[in-house]
Structure 1
Amino acid sequence: MRVVIALCLLAPFVAMLWVGSYAKVDPTFIGIPFFYWYQMLWVLISTALTMVAHQLWRRDQRARSTTKGGAAR
């Protein structure tokens, strides 16, 4: 579970640090060069991935507290 959380949080960093993959003008989207709309798209993707990571973290914490509480009884 924690590996999936780490991947969700790491993916945007890798995508933005790999500049060679998006340092170009074409294809344009409604007149906006690829370089800019790709980065703006990653803002939305990063938000979604962070929300997924947060939900998975909460689920993992609940599962750990249930297991810990059940073992103490």
Structure 2
Amino acid sequence: MRILLLLPFIGLLWVPFYNHELPTLFGFPFFYWYQFAWVPLTSLLIWIVYRHEKSKGEE
């Protein structure tokens, strides 16, 4: 489960993957909204891992 915490790191580490202007979302270039989308997604992943660890009795 802890491997999920690597997803944001990997998703944002390789800048050439998301260094594009198109597609835009509400007028924001892909470069900006892709990074911004990772903020709630990372929070969700941390919460999922936390709940899983808590259910196993490890905090």
Bigger share in helix: 1
Amino acid aligned to 2:52: L
Moved over 3 A (4+): none
Identical aligned pairs, as a percentage?
36
Q: TM-score normalised to the size of structure 1?
A: 0.74
Corresponding residue of 1:55 = 51
User: Would you say 1:17 and 2:13 are equivalent positions?
Assistant: yes
* Greater Cα radius of gyration, structure 1 or 2: 1
Q: How far did residue 20 of structure 1 move?
A: 1.4
Q: How many pairs are equivalent?
A: 58
Q: How far did residue 57 of structure 1 move?
A: 0.8
Gapped regions of structure 2 (runs ≥ 5): none
Q: TM-score normalised to the size of structure 2?
A: 0.90
Corresponding residue of 1:34 = 30
Cα deviation digits, residues 22-45 of structure 1 (max 9, x gap): 011000001000000000000010
